[in-house]
Structure 1
Amino acid sequence: MSIIKIISIVDDDASVRTATEGLVRSLGFAAYGFASAEAFLASPLIDATACLITDVQMPGMSGLELQAELASQGRDIPVIFITAFPEERLRRQARAGGAIDFLAKPFDGSTMIRCIETAVGQSS
């Protein structure tokens, strides 16, 4: 029996969260959405998450701050960033922190699928 991998999606935009959850589920993964980085950090799913998809700019803690917090806790969760503001400085910061990719919204579904497959392969 195979264990279904959990993909967590953190985005303050409910429509983006819902659409991304649908894409993730269509690939056979479990998808859980969170409206904030703080909600994800408080979740019991944090240790079971095989891949994290997060927005960069959100109220409260940003996606980049979330990435740094996970690293400071010693959690090695592959991260895929999505953003409506694809600034090169932020892309470099995300990559320096080990991000799988940094995708501009609206992102191409096939690109996201490739990123998820890469991330899940790393977390196996």
Structure 2
Amino acid sequence: MPASRNVHIAVIDDDDSFRLAAEWLIKSLGYEVAGYESAEAFLGVPPPRAADVIISDIQMPGMTGIEMKQRLNEEGHEVAVIFVSAQADPALLRRVSECGGLALLQKPFHGQILIDAIHHAIGDPSPD
């Protein structure tokens, strides 16, 4: 079912296969999506703050996803960030929470988990 309003989602991950799969899934839901291979690539595209939701890996070469979220916070850009990571220990979960991250999904995960997180981020209930 197509999305009821224009929602722009940014997917930031240095893993091409994950990024492309996430982009495909998001497009299939009817949302606008753009993929970036790094936090710096996302921040360097004017205006990066146009995203309604960001899905970001945590560990990437250069700036981490958490550092990117902290920069957005410092600049006053409030945007829901769904973090993804191959590791999800209590210390990492605490860092995600402290920077204002919406969720931490541990790779690999089922696509429905990501769909539910996106619906939560934009305030839409998940379809029954």
> Normalized against structure 2, the TM-score is what?
0.89
| Residues 1:16 and 2:15 aligned together | no
* Percent identical residues: 40
The structure 1 segments of at least 4 consecutive aligned residues displaced by more than 3 Å after TM superposition are none
CA distance in 2, matches of 1:14, 1:35: 7
Q: CA deviation at 1:47?
A: 2.5
Structure with the bigger RCO (C-alpha within 8 Å, sep 6+) is 1
| Residues 1:54 and 2:53 aligned together | no
In angstroms, what is the RMSD of aligned CA positions? Answer: 1.4
Equivalent position SS for 1:69: helix
Segments of 5+ residues of structure 1 without an aligned counterpart are none
Q: How many residues align?
A: 121
CA distance in 2, matches of 1:45, 1:55: 20
Which amino acid counterpart does residue 111 of structure 1 have in structure 2? I
The equivalent residue for 2:37 is: 35
CA distance in 2, matches of 1:82, 1:31: 17
Segments of 5+ residues of structure 2 without an aligned counterpart are none
CA 1:45–1:16: 2 relative to 1, 3 Å: farther
The Cα offsets for residues 37-83 of structure 1, whole Å up to 9 and x where unpaired, read as 00100112412200000001000000110110110110001000000
1:1-124 residue pairs with structure 2 within 5 A? 3-121=5-123
> Normalized against structure 1, the TM-score is what?
0.92
CA distance in 2, matches of 1:32, 1:45: 13
Which amino acid counterpart does residue 5 of structure 1 have in structure 2? V
Equivalent position SS for 1:33: strand
